[in-house]
Structure 1
């Protein structure tokens, strides 16, 4: 899976799970401020991303810096490439 496919899938998942209702999630949208995620919704999102991309658990230290949809996609890309 290349980086573009990862971004597309991350955008789809975040949009489908959006607490404000399913929508198209843009790469520069902020997870909490623009899309309405709270800390519990972010934890649920992390679990779905781990399952979807077969990732190791996302650590709190990694998640703390995630602001935008693109930030999430870049973390997933990094974790996918690290296991290869």
Structure 2
């Protein structure tokens, strides 16, 4: 999956899972303040991202502070690239 498609898919998932109801998510949207995510919703989101992008477990540490949708896009792209390079 190329970078543009990956980032679009992340935005789609984040918007779809927003606790405030499905909405279009933008890269600069803040998860808590603008999209209504709380700690449980973030865990659910991380599990969905793991599943949809076939990433190794994200909840075992090593995850950066994530505040915006762009932070998630960057993180997923980095992990996906690392997985591709390792293969």
Q: After TM superposition, is the score higher than 0.5?
A: yes
Following superposition, the deviation at residue 11 of structure 1 comes to: 0.4
TM-score w.r.t. structure 1 length? 0.94
Alignment partner, residue 62 of structure 1: 63
The root-mean-square deviation of aligned C-alpha atoms, in Å, is 1.0
Aligned length: 83
Is the aligned partner of 1:27 residue 2:11?
Answer: no
Following superposition, the deviation at residue 14 of structure 1 comes to: 0.4
**Separation in 2, partners of 1:9, 1:16:** 10
**Separation in 2, partners of 1:57, 1:35:** 24
Q: Which runs of 4+ in 1 moved over 4 A?
A: none
**Separation in 2, partners of 1:61, 1:42:** 16
Task: Give the match's secondary structure for 1:35.
Answer: coil
Alignment partner, residue 13 of structure 1: 13
Structure 2 unpaired stretches of 5+ = none
**Separation in 2, partners of 1:77, 1:4:** 10
TM-score w.r.t. structure 2 length? 0.91
Task: Give the match's secondary structure for 1:62.
Answer: coil
Following superposition, the deviation at residue 8 of structure 1 comes to: 0.2
Structure 1 unpaired stretches of 5+ = none
Following superposition, the deviation at residue 9 of structure 1 comes to: 0.2
- Pick the structure with greater CA Rg: 2
